[in-house]
Homo-oligomer: A and B are copies of this chain.
């Protein structure tokens, strides 16, 4: 039986300001490991580590919240080990707010049949989740998949995902959902959505069984590319006693379609449960953030800022696509910092020329310094978003950031 009410008294979410022209809002999100002001960016520590940045580095770049992944941690090192260590916070030396994603996205993007880019967009793919070669079984009970790492079989059910996350110990846990690729037909998507909803109720029941006030649970809004299914998904999730919700699944084949699908989800959500924090799963480009916030999204996560750092890219407000590649020869003698108005550790101490040299010389420090900057950039962007809302200038500042 799914519970009707769950006591989230160790947690809180309060909307402190709203934009007049959009659904952009400022929020105050409280967790047992501290609070943050939203809109905020949650950085991906997928395997319980942010690539090339220590918790100390994160603090210095003003990181407030991070995200690890249930699927990845199930495969390695396993939830038992993390539990023995006293949970993820202690294991990874992070004492701030922490969320774990359920791993639904990862299971359904496993193997050669369906790539994560297919789930996110529509560039290729067969459009049938059954072609996913590492997904051995998907039925009412849950999903059985083979680890791409060592071939070991794993089974995830809505209940086991809740219990794994109880072992991992994040502040915020997310339910298991079926994540359908973008090019799946309506009939399958509808069937999948109903499964996701039955799983949501089972997740809540399991969560409630052992709930001790240390964790809060997010539901996931699915529904593919279909407006009515997204509405159904949003209203259903809003009707259940989740602390917050995430918008997930296939998000269209290009930016405009993606924004439309987010709007399909956020419109009903904003009517039904505006008091709950809403997270947009795995999306976090600069434009995505401005558009998402305007539709009422409170938090974002995305591996891009730290991933592109490892390929030599620095985020930069005034650059095309908001990035420059420091490996480019034109930076060889460029004595300027990555961004002239950035006060991150990297920009305060090192030149583009030096970082170019580090990248050319394959020095790990180059990745560390770019990672540090890109994290600080995202936090500076979120600060600009928040300030624009509090000053009643959201659309104005959005336009200023996106004009290019």
The residues of A with any CB-CB pair to B shorter than 8 Å are: 47-56, 76-77, 81, 84-85, 91-93, 332-333, 335, 345, 349-351, 353-354, 356-358, 360-361, 363-369
Please report the C-alpha to C-alpha distance between residue A54 and residue B355 in the assembled complex, in whole angstroms.
12
Q: Which of A332, A345, A354 has the most CB of B within 10 A?
A: A354
**Nearest Cβ in chain B — how far from A10, in angstroms?**
25
Contact pick for A93, options B49, B51, B91, B349, CB 8 Å: B349
CB distance from A351 to the nearest CB of B (A): 6
Contact B91 A49 (CB under 8 A): no
User: Do A364 and B363 touch (CB < 8 A)?
Assistant: no
Q: Nearest 8 pairs between A and B by C-beta?
A: A93-B349, A52-B364, A49-B363, A77-B357, A49-B365, A47-B361, A93-B350, A91-B354
What would be 24 A-B contacts, judged by CB atoms less than 8 Å apart?
A47-B361, A47-B363, A48-B354, A49-B361, A49-B363, A49-B366, A50-B365, A54-B345, A54-B365, A54-B368, A55-B349, A76-B357, A77-B356, A77-B357, A77-B360, A77-B361, A81-B332, A81-B357, A85-B353, A91-B354, A92-B350, A93-B350, A364-B367, A364-B368
Q: Is the CB of B349 within 8 A of A76?
A: no
Task: Please name all residues of chain B whose beta carbon is closer than 8 Å to the beta carbon of A50 when the two chains form the complex.
Answer: 365
A353 CA / B364 CA spacing, docked (Å): 23
Q: Contacts A76-B361, A81-B333, A333-B81 known; A354 to B92 CB distance under 8 Å?
A: yes
